Amino acid sequence: MKPTAAPWARGPVAADDGTPRPGGAMGPPPGHLAPSALRPGTPFTAFGGAAGASAAAEPEPEAAPREPGSYCVPTKAITSPMAVTQFCASETYAATLRFAQDLQAAARGRPLRGEVPMTPICTKAVAMLGQMEGWVDEIPPEQQAMRFGNRAFKDWHARMLAELPAMLAELLALAPAGPDALRDAAVELGPYLSGSFGDPQRIDYGTGHEAAFAAWMLALLRIGGFTPEDMPALSLRLFPAYLRLMRKLQLTYKLEPAGSHGVWCVTPPPRPSRVCTSTVGDTHSYVCGCDSVAV
């Protein structure tokens, strides 16, 4: 199956003068922000589409807030040890850590199968992943001798790329600010989401793909698609739905564990899921037998 061109494949969103706009959902945030999702730090300008991660070690001045709609295609920026150091000192890094803490806090004291408030956009996001899960039944694995990497995964991934633009547009239309408020954000959100489901060439899956999905949730939170009130739903409904999809993809298409020792299955277990659920039972007497064992 040959996928149609996704909107984010057309390049950065251009300003009126034709130059690409800086920033983006994971760069300096526009307008709406989750109060606890951000901490002061040095802006990692390469994340917003600036020219590479090999910038000078001196921190650049913080960028001014972007105009709504100024989104661009994300590019790979962490390509060297120096870039890792810069990223670890960045506002984006601090926001990511805080987001993980907020996911954990949102799950504290809530049973996994208990009632969780769901806004329309959260409900749609979970349903979107459920629809993708249904495609696995429609695209059975091929009969082949290889232990890992069933070629039918390429067909599933191609279908995902073909249908994701329309699905993402429907999702963004449910943003609290209105149906058109985040329409242009698809160009930046799309690559994070499409990069969450494994690699179609290597037919593998690892924690980097999982991190891309977490980055997609964070980006959507920062631009106002999700709100702080959605945190329990993100932690206990949306991310588990993503893990169910990925577990079905792995079991059906035998995705190779990504990593330097992936062929021997030496790869870390899903990390965000442990973060989200590590405090679910921290006050449950039958689980821990004490007042608190928060991780």
Average pLDDT for consecutive 10-residue bins of the chain (295 residues)? 46 39 43 33 31 33 49 89 93 92 88 88 97 96 83 95 96 94 93 93 87 94 94 94 94 81 49 50 42 31
Return the pLDDT at 204.
87
Task: Please choose, from the candidates 155, 148, 156, the residue with its C-alpha nearest in 3D space to the C-alpha of residue 203.
Answer: 148
Backbone angles phi, psi at 283, to 5 degrees: -120, 15
Query: Roughly what angle, to the nearest 10 degrees, separates helices 152-172 and 120-138?
Result: 160
Task: Please choose, from the candidates 114, 121, 46, 42, the residue with its C-alpha nearest in 3D space to the C-alpha of residue 76.
Answer: 46
First to last CA, the chain: 45
The residue written with tokens 């991660």 in the block is: 53
Tokens of 33: 């922000």
Element (H, E) at 196: none
Return the pLDDT at 25.
53
Geometric angle at alpha carbon 99, from 255 and 134, rounded to 5°: 35
**Partners of 42 in beta bridges:** 90
Neighbours of 290 (CB within 10 A): 9
Task: Please choose, from the candidates 80, 26, 68, the residue with its C-alpha nearest in 3D space to the C-alpha of residue 193.
Answer: 26
Return the pLDDT at 6.
52
The residue written with tokens 């007042």 in the block is: 291
Return the pLDDT at 55.
32
Task: Please choose, from the candidates 283, 292, 276, 228, the residue with its C-alpha nearest in 3D space to the C-alpha of residue 104.
Answer: 276
In angstroms, the CA 175 to CA 70 distance is 17
Query: Roughly what angle, to the nearest 10 degrees, separates helices 152-172 and 239-253?
Result: 160
Geometric angle at alpha carbon 112, from 108 and 116, rounded to 5°: 80
Return the pLDDT at 258.
77
Return the pLDDT at 113.
79
Distance of CA 81 to the CA centre of its chain: 23
In angstroms, the CA 171 to CA 186 distance is 10
Task: Please choose, from the candidates 32, 33, 13, the residue with its C-alpha nearest in 3D space to the C-alpha of residue 23.
Answer: 13
In angstroms, the CA 185 to CA 71 distance is 6
In angstroms, the CA 265 to CA 277 distance is 24
> What SS3 class is residue 14?
strand
In angstroms, the CA 24 to CA 146 distance is 41
Return the pLDDT at 108.
86
In angstroms, the CA 36 to CA 228 distance is 8
